[in-house]
Structure 1
Amino acid sequence: MKHLLDRTDELILAALKANARISHAELSAKVNLSRNAVRVRIERLERESFIKAYTIITGDGGISQHVTTALIFVYRHDRMRGGDVIQALRKIPEVVTCDVMTGDFDLLVRVESSEADRITQIWHLIAKMPGVRDTLTSFALSSVIRK
């Protein structure tokens, strides 16, 4: 049986989002529970898929590395039977998100790369995929909120 999130669960999730390496001792002080109670709650949150994964966002070691972000809006020939396009997009490492959309566009694909030429290659690859009718690409000028 899935539990509903209470305020303490929400505080734990917020703290883990801010720092996934926070110790159980530090976290227990923030939410006023014992370390063991925090550990049990985290295990439950993982079991019930409130926490699906832990991830590492690699840094640049102090060297500024510019990442170019492009949003590619994809029109498919057939919205209902266009799963092959999504499967192909999953195989491209630079594709960081793919959302199925309502309205004019079928898919919104976010691509990130340190090389703008690579984004151009990916755009050409997507445009040539069977099932893709058309694309529209926009480059992000800057990222002001990133969570």
Structure 2
Amino acid sequence: MKRILDKVDEKILAQLTENARLSHNDIAGSVNLSRNAVRLRIERLERDGFIRGYTIRPGGATPDSQPIRALMFVYRKDRMRGLDVLRHVRSVREVVACDVMSGELDIVLHIEAPTSDRIHKLWEEIAALPEVLNTVTSFVLTRSKNTVSPG
């Protein structure tokens, strides 16, 4: 039996068609559902075959262009109890690495996004988390060495 999509499913599909890298949180705000409800709907859409993959369509960029990279330094209110921050950033596709640091700095997020606007939205989202005390974001101008470390 073929499943019929409701208006919320159609809106989620339309948003993912426009930008396959949208976070569950971004979609949740626009369809008035929780992040978890959006995640479950997307998983169901994948399972039912409505979503068969994700493709990046560069907006005005060539297929060989590099993503915009940034480092976001996050200071939590309570370093030992701020696990919700870590849980949240693990769900964000554009966060390609998350390092918990010793010393004064708490967390360093390595971000790769298609636009600086998307990095700005991520900054707003992460800075607004209740456990976050402060953030500092720096854009990467050039990368002079790129090595992949073992697992």
Q: By the TM > 0.5 criterion, same fold?
A: yes
SS at the partner of 1:105?
coil
CA distance in 2, matches of 1:64, 1:94: 18
- Paired amino acid for 1:128: A
Q: Which residue of 2 aligns with 1:4?
A: none
Which aligned pairs between 1:83-94 and structure 2 lie closer than 5 A? Answer: 83-94=83-94
CA distance in 2, matches of 1:134, 1:65: 32
Q: Which residue of 2 aligns with 1:135?
A: 135
Whether contact under 8 Å (1:98, 1:107) holds in the other structure is yes
Whether contact under 8 Å (1:111, 1:119) holds in the other structure is yes
Q: Which residue of 2 aligns with 1:79?
A: 79
When the two structures are superposed, what TM-score results if normalisation uses the length of structure 1?
Answer: 0.56
Stretches of structure 2 lacking an aligned partner (at least 5 in a row): 1-55
Which aligned pairs between 1:94-109 and structure 2 lie closer than 5 A? Answer: 94-109=94-109
Percent identical pairs in the alignment equals 42
SS at the partner of 1:85?
helix
SS at the partner of 1:98?
strand
Whether contact under 8 Å (1:99, 1:108) holds in the other structure is yes
Deviation at 1:64, TM superposition (A): 2.9
CA distance in 1, matches of 2:63, 2:130: 40
Deviation at 1:105, TM superposition (A): 1.3
Stretches of structure 1 lacking an aligned partner (at least 5 in a row): 1-57
Q: Which residue of 1 aligns with 2:125?
A: 125
SS at the partner of 1:143?
coil
CA distance in 2, matches of 1:109, 1:137: 9
Deviation at 1:63, TM superposition (A): 3.3
Q: CA RMSD in A?
A: 1.8
Deviation at 1:66, TM superposition (A): 3.2
Whether contact under 8 Å (1:98, 1:109) holds in the other structure is yes
Structure number with bigger Rg: 1
Which aligned pairs between 1:1-147 and structure 2 lie closer than 5 A? Answer: 63-147=63-147
What is the count of residue pairs matched by the alignment? 88
CA distance in 1, matches of 2:70, 2:84: 22
Structure 1: 4+ residue segments shifted above 3 A: none
Deviation at 1:125, TM superposition (A): 0.5
